[in-house]
Structure formats: structure tokens, C-alpha cells
Homo-oligomer: A and B are copies of this chain.
Amino acid sequence: MTTGAAPPRTASILAVGSELLGTTRLDTNSLFLTGRMDALGIATVRKACVGDGWDDLVAEIQTALERASLLVTSGGLGPTDDDRTKEAVAKVLGRRLVRDEEILSRLKERFRKRGYAMPDVNAKQADVVEGATVLVNRRGSAPGFLVEEGGRTVVLLPGVPHELKAMWDDAVAPLLARAGEPGLHRRVLKVAAMPESVVETMIKPVYAAHPSVPITILAAPGEVQLQFASRGTAGEAAAVLDRIEADFRRALGDEIFGRDDDTLEGAVGGLLRAKGKTLALAESCTGGLLAGRLTEVAGSSDYFLGAAVTYANAAKTDLAGVSAETLERYGAVSEETAREMALGARLRFGSSIGVSVTGIAGPGGGTPEKPVGTVHLALDDADGTRLHRRLATPGDRALIRRWTTSSALSLLRHHLLGTSGWRA
């Protein structure tokens, strides 16, 4: 698609400010910038954060310019002594800073409108890297700059997110856009409750069929995301992404529950609604988290009736209808108890389907026969379907609980689809 065209442009993002090297602040501007540059056909190859120290700042700008043809900086354009991004860029490019009288008068006017005189320190915001294009800031005092030098471009933006975003869309994007230039379009496919390495093995044919497509596997607890992208106009890219998606679906079948912003609980909710079925739960070790995920979906009251969170054994009997004999004979964490809980939830709430979870989330409570991570899931449908799964999940309490909710939702999803799932 890009045959004969110029090579794709690359970019480096640099966020300047010592607060970004602390324990609380992340450079969220880079997410916005990456997406906007992708659409212009500019690939972000790296991003960095650096403090206000002069030597570090100069070194970082030098490195960035060696690594990509475009450098976008955010922050360090303010009036204080530790705002030195402009000075550092001028130093690296071997240019002077010159005071711009037009910017100076705009700044003074801005302060006058707010009812006070411009403090002297703000005058430095009117300094311009010689030869730079000035980018107007309609939401703040610091203007931005675009400087070109030997085929490289540096864009200097303020760090305040709403100022940066407005300046990009107002002034930077029009300067960087190239007519007909293909952009990068992304897609994400999602799989639930499968180990990353099993997914990896199953999708080998997709890698083989698309050797030049960058495919990223991303594992979150209970979910694997497959991210890929294609370069071209929107239409060209969609056609390529559709082909790759079809190959993923051939490799993984119904294990793919959604794409992009889809959630597993949303997918399950959509199926329950489509099939006209209602759901109730009996939860033990997940302690309400499974109900919590299902009710994250707006409108879930259409199909979700409720849950009995039966942490104590007496509650398993009273609310979920598990017989005292079953608890006595097989224990609270057993296939038998799980099956009775699922049936009990269905009958108690009068739902079409009951799903249950009982297990040992740890850190205490494990035994050699039933170690921490042992979980029993069961499903009981009024149509006569009865399912059970035993899980052995590694990790800590939070991970076991999260994995368990994904496994339960996945079991329910496959039941509603009429498929069996990779594990069965």
C-alpha cells in the first residue's frame, strides 16, 4: 500500500517534569499523542520522561532526535526557573532564543483581562527558538513551537493535558498531515480464562500467515488480548484487519468473546438478553465479585436477578439450599456443594440459570487434597443442563478471585453459545 511512498515517519515522545519521576504521576498525554500520530501515519517508537535537571534534559533531547524523525515534548514551557525545555532544544539544535514582541503583548493582555499585571517571570514565555513556528495556546499562557532542522522536526507542547490536546488539534495536526498518507489503524481481540501460553500455541498459524503484521499478546488476569494493526487508508486497513481477525477466529473459534472495548460481562449479558434468559448466582470464595462484574453493565437488571454471597456455611444451606449432609460429607469446596449451590440459586431467585462458585482463595485454608486455588464452578439451567468445572488457579488471593470470575463468565458464555470451550 505504501509502495513507492516515503518511508513511514517515526516519533519519539518526551514528557518533561520532575513530578513525573515520583510515585504518583504518569505521562497520560502520551496516550493521546500516540493515537493522534498513528492516524497521521506517524509511528511512536519510544517515549520517555525526564526531570528538570539541565544535563539530563539536554541528553534526553539529543537521544530522542537520534532515534526518530519527529520529537514531541510536553511540559517545561512555564514561567518558572525549572521550565527549560525551550532552552534545551535551542542548545541541541545550536540556535538562539529570541524574544517575540507579539507573544509578549498577548501574554500581557491575557493577564490584564484577568485583572492583574503580568509578573516579570512570565516574560520568558515570549522567548522563541529562532526560526520556530509559534503555536497558539487558546487554553493557557504558554505558547508551543514547531522547529525543523535537517529533516527532523521538534514540537514543543505545554504539559497541561487540555492545553496540549487543543494545541495539537488546532495547530500541530494541520502542519504534520500529509495528503493521502496512510495511517495506522488498530484492532484488539479478547479471549477469557485461558493461559497465555495456550493461546500462543493455538495462534501460531496466524503469525505464520501474517509475518509482517505486528501482533502483540497482552495478558491481564483472566483475559488475553490480541492486538494488531494495519497501515493504510481507513478502508484499506479495515480489509486487512478483517482478514487477520478471520484467521484468529479460525484458530481460536468461539474463545474470542469480543473486540476493542468489549467486556466479558457485556458479552455474557448480551447473550442472556438475546436468549431471554435470567441469571442468579451463589458465590462463596469470590465474595460478590462475580455479581459485581455482571452488574457493571448498564441495564443488567434486565437479566440479572441477584446473588447469594454465602461466605458462612449456614448461609450456603439457608440461602443456597445446600443440604447439611452434602456439606458434612463432601465439604464446602466440592463438586457436590457447587452443584447444589447452582441449583439452589436458580430455585431461590426463580431464574432460568444458576451459576455457583466455591473455592479456596487463600492465603489460608488450603490442604494437600484441596490446595489454595482449588475452585469448583457449577451451572444449572432450567432446560436440564448441568455443568461443573474444577479449577486449579495459581497466584495470590486477588488473582485467584479475578481468574475465577472470568472462568465462571466463560463457562456461562459457552453454555449460552452451545459450545464447549477449549478446556472441556
Query: Which residues of chain B are near A177, meaning CB under 8 Å?
Result: none
Query: Which residues of chain B are near A363, meaning CB under 8 Å?
Result: 298
Interface size counted on chain A using CB atoms at 8 A: 107
- Complex: how many Å from CA A15 to CA B277? 45
Q: Please tell me if A362 contacts chain B, counting CB pairs below 8 Å.
A: yes
Establish whether residues A26 and B31, one from each chain, have CB atoms under 8 Å apart when the complex forms: yes
Q: Please tell me if A287 contacts chain B, counting CB pairs below 8 Å.
A: yes
Q: Please tell me if A78 contacts chain B, counting CB pairs below 8 Å.
A: yes
Chain B proximity of A363: nearest CB distance (Å): 5
Total copies of the chain: 2
Query: Which residues of chain B are near A318, meaning CB under 8 Å?
Result: 348-349
Query: Which residues of chain B are near A308, meaning CB under 8 Å?
Result: 306-309, 319
Establish whether residues A312 and B319, one from each chain, have CB atoms under 8 Å apart when the complex forms: no
Q: Please tell me if A176 contacts chain B, counting CB pairs below 8 Å.
A: no
Establish whether residues B201 and A113, one from each chain, have CB atoms under 8 Å apart when the complex forms: no
Q: Please tell me if A80 contacts chain B, counting CB pairs below 8 Å.
A: yes
Stretch at the interface among A39-47, A85-93, A408-416: A39-47
Query: Which residues of chain B are near A79, meaning CB under 8 Å?
Result: 196-197, 200
Query: Which residues of chain B are near A362, meaning CB under 8 Å?
Result: 298
Residue on B nearest A141 in the bound complex, by CB: B197
Chain B proximity of A10: nearest CB distance (Å): 9
Q: Which of these, B295, B348, B395, contacts A288 with CB under 8 Å?
A: B295
Establish whether residues B319 and A306, one from each chain, have CB atoms under 8 Å apart when the complex forms: yes
| Complex interface bits, A227-269 against B, C-beta within 8 A gives 1, otherwise 0 | 1000000000000000000000000000000000000000000
Q: Please tell me if A417 contacts chain B, counting CB pairs below 8 Å.
A: no
Establish whether residues B46 and A227, one from each chain, have CB atoms under 8 Å apart when the complex forms: no
Establish whether residues B78 and A196, one from each chain, have CB atoms under 8 Å apart when the complex forms: yes
| Complex interface bits, A185-208 against B, C-beta within 8 A gives 1, otherwise 0 | 010000000011110110000010
24 inter-chain pairs at a CB distance below 8 angstroms, sorted by A residue, are A17-B218, A18-B216, A21-B34, A22-B31, A23-B35, A45-B53, A45-B56, A81-B207, A82-B216, A114-B392, A119-B200, A122-B197, A286-B292, A287-B292, A287-B296, A288-B290, A288-B295, A298-B364, A301-B311, A305-B314, A306-B309, A308-B319, A314-B350, A318-B349
Given contacts A79-B200, A114-B394, A288-B290, 10 further A-B contacts (CB under 8 A): A23-B35, A26-B26, A110-B394, A121-B201, A287-B294, A291-B309, A292-B292, A304-B311, A306-B315, A308-B308
